[in-house]
Amino acid sequence: MPVFESLSDRLQGIFGELRKRGKLSESDVDAAMREIRLALLEADVHYGVVKDFVKRVRERAVGAEVQKSLTPGQQVVKIVHEELIRTLGAPGHLDLSGNTPHVIMLIGLQGSGKTTTAAKLALHLRRNGQTPLLVAADTYRPAAVDQLIALGKQLDIPVYDEGVDHQPPDIAQNGVDRARRDYRSVVIVDTAGRLQVDESMMEELVAIRSRVKPQEVLLVADAMTGQEAVNIAQGFNEQVGLTGLILTKVDGDARGGAAISMREVTGVPIKFLGTSEKTDGLEPFHPDRLSNRILGMGDVLTLIERAERLDVDEEEALAMQEKLMTASFTLADFHKQLQQVKKLGSLTQVLELAGLGQITAQVPPEEMDRQLKTFEAIISSMTLRERERPEILNASRRKRIAAGSGMHVQDVNQLIKQFQETRKLMKQIGKRGLPGNIRNLFN
């Protein structure tokens, strides 16, 4: 996750040094705590959160649980992991109890991604059996109404709007009434944002809240605004009252401290993370998974959930597994797998979720994605017979394929070489069998 990339690299470097030591003295722990403190502050984590976090970790790290451990460095990593989860707070689930329609009110500053998030949330809820209705109550930015209507059409989710000539509290109330008549189970109200917090906006939000009585008031905050996002959250919470947070743009190039600070500073749980600009780029917040990502341990569960959304045929997946283990997979199979990986996200994201982020440190992410695009273009230029039987790819065929894909013959040769090496490796693994157990990271 790019938003935590710098912090993750720093922490992994600190832990790498700790793991080298067979025994940790109190001075070793203090030196590590100073480095962790600096890393967190540079990542824009709130100073008060950093102070409490480091204090808790140090108290445990100089105690018996580390001193008696056979792997004290790894034990410190375990403590940091647990305390990071504690700081991030418990998972924030949506309250959809009681009578329908359940009303969810989205608030936030202009530019935080609120309108797009409304559509993403509606899609998420529909996938979980709900029947959402979107309400366009942002009348100050005419494009917001049009944008929500367009997103609703794209996702086949109804949108209630009254244009921009009516009062937002009235639009919100009328939208809830429409949802009740149409037997919709959830209403998502997209409210107006401003460039900064002001009194008139707060009065309007309080009025909407009073009229529609939402079960959830979620602040949509841009993670890239750093420490300022925490201050914004505090302001909204004090004046409107929040039940949860949605952090957007966590796939951006920012320091990530807001995500770590927000729950502890505001006391309000993070409920979702916006992981991309795509309509399915919204993930429920899991503090343990985010902690794993920050510490470079991967997030296989999220990767599995993304894969499940692709509706991959189970029999087809088993057949592909058999082909891999017997080294009988072809370039056609390889091409199909490239298509599936692209749906999961960028190659960098997939590797990080799989706990293989260290690979991206050795090869620049842009280079990895470029190479995959090159491979895809080359395979697309092959005939079906050439994909199924790569052994027939002689010099003249390779020259034709290179010209057809806009690549060089060397690129075609590189693809064939890597494909053959992969197939050879998988054949060896297939003969030996995959390891039965994976060593626990925390032992």
Whether 58 and 174 map to the same domain: the answer is no
Query: Which are the contacts of 143, defined by CB distance < 8 A and separation ≥ 6?
Result: none
Q: Are 57 and 33 in contact (CB under 8 A)?
A: yes
pLDDT band at 6 (very low <50, low <70, confident <90, very high): confident
Whether 238 and 217 map to the same domain: the answer is yes
Mean residue pLDDT of the chain comes to 79
Query: Which are the contacts of 215, defined by CB distance < 8 A and separation ≥ 6?
Result: 95, 96, 97, 98, 102, 103, 104, 243
pLDDT at position 2: 52
The mean pLDDT value for 83-112 works out to 88
Whether 309 and 340 map to the same domain: the answer is yes
Asked whether residue 442 is domain-assigned, the answer is: no
Q: What is the DSSP letter of 441?
A: T
Asked whether residue 151 is domain-assigned, the answer is: yes
pLDDT band at 126 (very low <50, low <70, confident <90, very high): very high
pLDDT, tens digit (0-9, with 9 covering 90-100), for 40-83: 888 888 888 899 999 998 888 887 666 666 577 777 888 888 88
Percentage of the chain exceeding pLDDT 90: 28
pLDDT at position 66: 64
Q: What is the CATH number of the domain that holds 238?
A: 3.40.50.300
Whether 147 and 276 map to the same domain: the answer is yes
Whether 222 and 202 map to the same domain: the answer is yes
Query: Which are the contacts of 35, defined by CB distance < 8 A and separation ≥ 6?
Result: 10, 14
Asked whether residue 257 is domain-assigned, the answer is: yes
- The owner of tokens 């296989």 is 300
Asked whether residue 202 is domain-assigned, the answer is: yes
Whether 62 and 135 map to the same domain: the answer is no
Q: How far apart are CA 429 and CA 443, in angstroms?
A: 26
Q: How far apart are CA 188 and CA 221, in angstroms?
A: 17
Asked whether residue 281 is domain-assigned, the answer is: yes
Q: Are 433 and 403 in contact (CB under 8 A)?
A: no
pLDDT band at 107 (very low <50, low <70, confident <90, very high): very high
End-to-end CA distance of the chain: 26
The mean pLDDT value for 104-128 works out to 92
Whether 281 and 345 map to the same domain: the answer is no
Final residue before a domain boundary, out of 275, 295, 315 = 295
Whether 169 and 287 map to the same domain: the answer is yes
Q: Are 183 and 133 in contact (CB under 8 A)?
A: no
pLDDT value at 92 more than 70 = yes
Asked whether residue 184 is domain-assigned, the answer is: yes
pLDDT at position 39: 86
pLDDT at position 244: 92
Q: How far apart are CA 436 and CA 442, in angstroms?
A: 18
pLDDT value at 142 more than 60 = yes
pLDDT at position 433: 47
358's enclosing H/E stretch is helix 358-362
pLDDT at position 307: 57
pLDDT at position 106: 95
pLDDT at position 169: 94
Of 436 and 407, which is predicted with more confidence? 407
pLDDT band at 146 (very low <50, low <70, confident <90, very high): very high
**From 31-35, 265-269, 372-376, the region with the lowest mean pLDDT:** 372-376
**From 75-89, 165-179, 204-218, 284-298, the region with the lowest mean pLDDT:** 284-298
Domain that holds residue 8: 2-88
pLDDT, tens digit (0-9, with 9 covering 90-100), for 302-360: 555 555 555 555 555 555 556 555 556 788 777 776 666 666 565 555 555 544 444 44
Q: How far apart are CA 261 and CA 50, in angstroms?
A: 9
Q: How far apart are CA 431 and CA 155, in angstroms?
A: 46
Asked whether residue 146 is domain-assigned, the answer is: yes
Whether 272 and 340 map to the same domain: the answer is no
Final residue before a domain boundary, out of 295, 329, 361 = 295
Query: Which are the contacts of 353, defined by CB distance < 8 A and separation ≥ 6?
Result: 293, 298, 299, 300, 302, 303, 306, 345
Whether 267 and 347 map to the same domain: the answer is no
Whether 225 and 373 map to the same domain: the answer is no
Asked whether residue 94 is domain-assigned, the answer is: no
pLDDT at position 72: 73
Helices (H), 112-226: 114-127, 142-155, 168-181, 199-212
Q: What number of residues does the chain have?
A: 443
> How many domains, in total, are found in the chain?
3
The mean pLDDT value for 396-403 works out to 93
Q: Are 137 and 175 in contact (CB under 8 A)?
A: yes
Whether 276 and 350 map to the same domain: the answer is no
pLDDT value at 425 more than 80 = no
pLDDT, tens digit (0-9, with 9 covering 90-100), for 225-269: 777 778 888 888 888 899 999 988 776 555 567 778 888 888 888
pLDDT at position 123: 94
**From 165-174, 323-332, 387-396, the region with the lowest mean pLDDT:** 323-332
Q: What is the CATH number of the domain that holds 363?
A: 1.10.260.30
Final residue before a domain boundary, out of 266, 295, 324 = 295
- CA of 11: how far to CAs of 4, 15, 34, in Å? 11, 6, 12
Q: What is the CATH number of the domain that holds 82?
A: 1.20.120.140
